[in-house]
């Protein structure tokens, strides 16, 4: 399987920058996602790798060799497009065989490879069905089989689940990830859905405004977001207004308001007097069971939302609103609206991010 390296990849359309200086190295067999909001340049990046868009600058290396001058059909790359429409006038077997017929592969090989592909995507017995006889998920599997049958070195998937309903999307997430691991195929997966990227990927490249702004494993992206954009794009976070008071060793003191100062991990570039946002995930705020190593604040409960397995409390602490999410366990106390509580969090589960 192949290593993919993008070096300084750049593309503008009529002077408007679509992809700017993208540098990525994707390991052999890796599941790598490009995650970002609509219009940030994900599809353009993927199409440059596939060969349908020519970069203005940069290199695309596969196993060390630059492929920028090669046409798509020479690149040995499989791509499933966002609108993965399969041919309605062909049955499943003919849909899957199509790419091989175009390549003038002999009949016996086509039959064998189509059988293999049907097995890989779990559609044995569906050979003679047409599109109208397939569910959305089954159509998606045919679209994938059509690409896998050509045995590409690299698999590119552009929002392949966006046409499916929520339950099917959940199921297909795990299925695609399982198949990718089983085949060991280097995969670049494009999505604007953070939960897809977090569950499926070995690593994620978060894109914003044509640039890759952070690269890391899902836990790093979620727990150590590089900036305020990544923080607000991935998951739900509390963002408290704070001012840096002093920096001491590995920790900074932050003034939160109401005369309250707390500790947060130091970060390069923070200076006294600077305005920052203190980032705290709702699940990292405790309403009981805190210890002396934790930040401790008095808070008032403004609202309580029962969500079954979770309870969301809307709180006010240091004059600022914040949300805590608590596992709903039978042995745990619940707190009532209007009541006072003490809240706790680990300083290391927070980040002080400069306001841009
Ligand atoms: N063929 C094109 N011609 C002109 N502008 C384009 C073309 N394709 C994409 N763009 C622009 O480039 C930017 C990035 O688009 P795209 O890569 O499709 O983003 P994403 O897939 O992240 O939603 C957008 O501003 C889009 O309008
Ligand atoms: Mg797109």
C-alpha separations of 106 from 111, 115, 120, 153, 338 in Å: 9, 14, 21, 21, 75
pTM: 0.87
DSSP alpha helix (H) spans, the chain: 42-50, 92-102, 107-120, 136-148, 166-183, 194-200, 218-223, 228-233
| pLDDT recorded at residue 328 | 87
DSSP alpha helix (H) spans, 11-64: 42-50
In short, whether 121's Cβ falls inside 6 Å of ligand 1 is no
Ligand 1 atom nearest residue 38's Cα: 23
Question: For residues 125 and 129, what is the distance between their CA atoms, to the nearest angstrom?
Answer: 9
pLDDT string in tens for the chain (356-residue length): 789 999 999 999 999 999 999 999 999 999 999 999 999 999 999 999 999 999 999 999 999 999 999 999 899 999 998 776 789 999 999 999 998 998 899 999 999 999 999 998 899 999 999 999 999 889 989 999 999 999 999 999 999 998 888 888 888 899 999 999 999 999 999 999 999 999 999 999 999 999 999 999 999 999 888 899 999 999 889 999 999 998 877 889 999 988 899 999 988 778 899 999 999 999 999 998 889 999 999 999 999 998 888 999 999 999 999 999 998 887 677 789 999 999 999 999 999 998 87
310: left (phi over 0), alpha (psi -120 to 50) or beta: beta
Domain positions in the chain are 4-232, 236-354
Q: Whose CA is nearest to atom 12 of ligand 1?
A: 18
- In the reported structure, the alpha carbon of residue 43 is separated from the centroid of ligand 2 by a whole-number distance in angstroms of 4
| Sign for the pseudo-dihedral over CA of 275, 268, 201, 327 | negative
Unique residue bearing structure tokens 């995650």? 35
CATH superfamily of 4-232: P-loop containing nucleotide triphosphate hydrolases (3.40.50.300)
| pLDDT recorded at residue 330 | 73
Q: Which two tokens stand for residue 192?
A: 């604007």
Nearest one of 148, 119, 132 to 90, comparing CA atoms: 132
In short, whether 284's Cβ falls inside 6 Å of ligand 1 is no
In short, whether 203's Cβ falls inside 6 Å of ligand 1 is no
**CATH number, span 236-354:** 2.40.50.140
Q: Which ligand is nearest to the Cα of residue 208, counting in written order?
A: 1
Ligand 1 atom nearest residue 159's Cα: 21
Question: For residues 92 and 114, what is the distance between their CA atoms, to the nearest angstrom?
Answer: 10
Q: Which two tokens stand for residue 237?
A: 């976070």
Ligand 1 atom nearest residue 37's Cα: 22
Unique residue bearing structure tokens 């290199």? 59
In short, whether 38's Cβ falls inside 6 Å of ligand 1 is yes
| pLDDT recorded at residue 339 | 94
In short, whether 174's Cβ falls inside 6 Å of ligand 1 is no
| pLDDT recorded at residue 116 | 93
DSSP alpha helix (H) spans, 184-320: 194-200, 218-223, 228-233
Q: Are 161 and 173 in contact (CB under 8 A)?
A: yes
- Whether 4-232 shares its CATH topology with 236-354 is answered no
In short, whether 191's Cβ falls inside 6 Å of ligand 1 is no
In short, whether 54's Cβ falls inside 6 Å of ligand 1 is no
| pLDDT recorded at residue 287 | 92
- In the reported structure, the alpha carbon of residue 229 is separated from the centroid of ligand 2 by a whole-number distance in angstroms of 19
Question: For residues 179 and 122, what is the distance between their CA atoms, to the nearest angstrom?
Answer: 10
| pLDDT recorded at residue 334 | 79
At residue 180, what are phi and psi to the nearest 5 degrees?
-60, -45
């Amino acid at each position: 399987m192949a290593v993919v390296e993008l070096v300084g990849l750049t593309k503008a359309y009529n002077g408007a920058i679509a992809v700017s200086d993208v540098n990525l190295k994707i390991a052999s067999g890796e599941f790598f996602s490009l995650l970002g909001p609509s219009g940030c340049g994900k599809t353009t990046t993927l199409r440059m790798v596939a060969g349908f868009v020519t970069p203005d600058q940069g290199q695309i290396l596969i196993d060390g060799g630059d492929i920028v001058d090669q046409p798509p059909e020479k690149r040995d790359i499989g791509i499933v497009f966002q609108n993965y429409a399969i041919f309605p006038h062909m049955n499943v077997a003919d849909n899957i065989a199509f790419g091989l017929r175009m390549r003038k592969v002999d009949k016996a090989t086509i039959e064998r490879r189509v059988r293999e592909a049907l097995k890989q995507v779990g559609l044995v017995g569906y050979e003679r069905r047409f599109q109208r006889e397939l569910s959305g998920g089954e159509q998606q599997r045919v679209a994938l089989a059509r690409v896998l049958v050509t045995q590409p070195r690299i698999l590119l998937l552009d929002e392949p689940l966006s046409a499916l309903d929520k339950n099917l999307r959940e199921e297909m997430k795990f299925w695609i990830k399982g198949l990718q691991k089983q085949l060991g195929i280097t995969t670049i997966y494009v999505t604007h859905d953070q939960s897809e990227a977090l569950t499926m990927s070995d690593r994620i490249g978060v894109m914003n405004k044509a640039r890759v702004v952070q690269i890391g494993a899902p836990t790093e992206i979620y727990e150590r977001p590089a900036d305020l954009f990544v923080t607000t794009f991935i998951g739900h976070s509390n963002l408290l207004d704070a001012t840096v008071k002093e920096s001491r060793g590995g920790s900074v003191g932050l003034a939160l308001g109401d005369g309250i100062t707390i500790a947060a991990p130091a970060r390069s570039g923070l200076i006294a007097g600077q305005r920052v946002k203190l980032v705290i995930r709702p699940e990292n705020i405790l309403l009981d069971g805190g210890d002396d190593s934790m930040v401790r604040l008095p808070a008032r409960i403004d609202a309580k939302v029962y969500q079954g397995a979770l309870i969301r409390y809307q709180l006010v602490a240091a004059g600022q609103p914040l949300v805590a999410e608590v596992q709903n366990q039978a042995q745990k106390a619940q707190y009532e609206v209007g009541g006072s509580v003490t809240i706790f969090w680990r300083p290391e589960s927070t980040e002080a991010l400069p306001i841009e």
